[in-house]
Amino acid sequence: MRLAFATILAITLSSCGGPSKPMTPAERGRIVYMTNCVVCHNADPNLPGSQGPPIAGSSRELVYDRVMFLKYPPGYTPKRTTHAMRALPQLKDRIDDLVAFLAEAAKQK
């Protein structure tokens, strides 16, 4: 049993060696989205969620205004009239990553 565990551990550690490839902004944004947004939005941002509308391809201005201040950019017409969303100011430094993920998702349509 110990030999089997030691073998598995050795294989695992050897396959994890070396520097890892840095994540792209879209990959980091996917983590942000899956951690914070899928509660209301669909896991596929091209589709409507339980409470939130589809948001794939949303502009940086829209994402920033909604996430930080719960407002809409001037001239923007909301897709839904609910007010369920809450501000997530802790994501301030992840807005660009989130926008990159949403842009990639829009290409997958």
pLDDT in tens, 5-60: 555 655 555 555 667 899 999 999 999 999 999 999 999 999 999 999 999 999 99
User: Per-residue pLDDT averaged across 92-107, rounded?
Assistant: 98
Q: And the tokens for 98?
A: 């989130």
Domain that holds residue 67: 24-107
Q: Let me know if residue 14 belongs to a domain.
A: no
Q: Let me know if residue 90 belongs to a domain.
A: yes
Residue 86's Cβ-count burial label (10 Å; 0-12, 13-18, 19+) is: exposed
Q: Let me know if residue 96 belongs to a domain.
A: yes
Q: Let me know if residue 39 belongs to a domain.
A: yes
What is the structure's pLDDT at 8? 62
Q: Let me know if residue 97 belongs to a domain.
A: yes
Selected residue with higher pLDDT from 36 and 83 = 36
Q: Let me know if residue 98 belongs to a domain.
A: yes
Q: Are 84 and 13 in contact (CB under 8 A)?
A: no
What is the structure's pLDDT at 1? 59
Domain count, the chain: 1
Q: Let me know if residue 7 belongs to a domain.
A: no
Distance CA 49, CA 51 (A): 5
